[in-house]
Amino acid sequence: MANHHPLRAHVIAGGFPPGQPAGHDHDYARLRLLEFLQEQEVPASVGNDFHDIDRWLPISKLLITYVAGPYPDAEQTAAIRKWIEEGGCWLGLHGTSGGRAARVEGQRQRRMVKLDHHEALGGFFLNHPPVRRFNVRIGDAPDSLTEDLPGTFEVIDEPYMVELQDPENTRVLLTAELGPDTSPPGFGFDYDEDTALMPDGKTRALGYTRDLGKGGVTYVALGHCHTPATNSQPFVDPSVDPEGKTPPVLRQTWETDAYQTLIRNAIGWGMRH
């Protein structure tokens, strides 16, 4: 990899299998991300998965991923990590902390498999209860990421359970007091232990940042969006709808001023790191 990274970005947004939404409106997320990049006059390339990542890393300073299913294999992850260590920055959003889900014998639920890219990203998705309304608190992170953000803001989103992979070297950017997993029986993914819940028994990390060599990684779990054609939520928490009916279009987080500021800040962080 070259040591010099041109000031451009590569955006990966897509589901699995290829061409399928996997429960998310990737077209909307992709468009919004490109709009945010255009605001800062950052040229960008786009992809639907990681299969040709080695073509784009050498000519990019920032990698932005919004995916539901696609993940880099061991070789691609090694290339991403080397690129970061040489000065690149990875902004992972929402389902980036997921990946491959394995079948569990005798159960309908699947279980997420921890792979190489989770170590590089610094986070591993376990599960999420139904979409709910909750407050997000800004944590300890560089000013470049938290500038102009309120102390707290409200979202309607999937309450992610993300296990930090390198807590000693990670600065927590976003938290929420979501408490223990409230998933109804059979909902979501199977796991042995809730390793994402912090010691106080109520707080979860929903965003973090860490340096890696000359570059860095920032991950934000927020950002679920869907349309009637891409929705896979069977129901939502009563905090969203008293009858549990899933909104046909859900983009509330993306429409929140604080989230937009956060994404703008994260792009600036990545381009100037």
DSSP 117-149: HHHHHTEEEEE--S-EEEEEEE-S--HHHHTT-
Predicted confidence band of residue 4 (pLDDT cuts 50, 70, 90):
low
**SS3 category, 243:** coil
This prediction's pTM: 0.96
**SS3 category, 182:** coil
Predicted confidence band of residue 1 (pLDDT cuts 50, 70, 90):
very low
Average pLDDT over residues 113-117: 97
Q: Give domain status of residue 4, yes or no.
A: no
What are 6-45's pLDDT values in tens digits?
799 999 999 999 999 999 999 999 999 999 999 999 999 9
Q: Give domain status of residue 243, yes or no.
A: yes
Rounded Cα distance between 61 and 54, Å, is 13
Distance of alpha carbon 30 from the chain centroid = 13
> What is the span of the domain harbouring residue 242?
9-272
Q: Give domain status of residue 157, yes or no.
A: yes
Nearest to residue 182, comparing CAs of 198, 158, 205, 163?
158
pLDDT of residue 164: 98
Q: Give domain status of residue 210, yes or no.
A: yes
The answer on pLDDT for 153 being more than 70 is: yes
Domain count, the chain: 1
Instruction: Give the CA distances from residue 95 to residues 27, 144, 159, 231, 232, in Å, rounded to whole numbers and listed in that order.
Output: 15, 24, 12, 15, 14
Question: Which residues pair with residue 127 across a beta bridge?
Answer: 161
Query: Which tokens hold the place of 190?
Result: 């199977």
The answer on pLDDT for 240 being more than 90 is: yes
One-letter amino acid identity for 230?
Answer: T
Q: Give domain status of residue 36, yes or no.
A: yes
Rounded Cα distance between 190 and 106, Å, is 12
Q: Give domain status of residue 26, yes or no.
A: yes
Q: Give domain status of residue 58, yes or no.
A: yes
Q: Give domain status of residue 69, yes or no.
A: yes
CATH number, domain with residue 93: 3.40.50.880
Preceding omega of 142 cis (within 30 degrees of 0): no
What are 50-84's pLDDT values in tens digits?
999 999 999 999 999 999 999 999 999 999 999 99
Average pLDDT over residues 106-125: 95
H or E element that contains 111: strand 110-112
Burial class (CB in 10 A: 0-12, 13-18, 19+), 1: middle
Mean pLDDT score across all residues of the chain:
96
DSSP-derived secondary structure letter, 209: E
